[in-house]
Amino acid sequence: MYQKDFVLRMIEMVRDLIMGILGLIKKGELEQASEGIERIYLDVLKQDSGFFQNIPAKMLTDKLLHDHNYTNGHLEILAELFNIEAELGFAKGKIKDSLELSEKSLILFEFIDNEQKIYSSERIEKMDSIRKRNLILLNSITRE
């Protein structure tokens, strides 16, 4: 029970940090936002963002759960980080990178949603928001 409470507190802490980073993105302080995201990767997940970005989307959950002993809590934090990185990529005009990160975020959120079998309106809203952003990104790519 102690470990579960700790993980929940970590997820909440990361969400608070991500809200601050989202504020930086909206203010156009993209370099500071990028640095904040990288700090979260290193401090919470003990790897840099490149480590996670290099894992193919189809192998993401299996590789992290089995090869690296991550928990669903770690995956939820990673889903949040991929989501905010997708926002940052969109703000920087890196549409393809943003779409890739956004798709990975959605894969993780859907996995967590299926595994936990506990209804979360916040998670459902987030997944819907990601799907909408993915459509916008896909439309941007097809117009290029």
Tens-digit pLDDT profile for residues 99-109: 999 999 999 99
CA atoms within a 13 Å half-sphere pointing along the CA-CB vector of 11 = 17
Identify which of 107, 89, 106, 111 has the alpha carbon closest to the alpha carbon of residue 98: 89
- How many folded domains does the chain comprise? 1
CA atoms within a 13 Å half-sphere pointing along the CA-CB vector of 61 = 18
pLDDT along the chain (144 residues), means of 10: 64 87 95 95 92 94 91 91 96 94 96 86 92 90 76
pLDDT digits (tens, 9 = 90+) for 61-87: 999 999 888 988 899 999 999 999 999
pTM: 0.90
Tell me what pLDDT residue 2 has: 47
- Domain with 62, as residue range(s), is 2-143
Question: Do the Cβ atoms of 133 and 102 come closer than 8 Å?
Answer: yes
Return the number of other C-beta atoms located less than 10 Å from residue 101's C-beta. Answer: 27
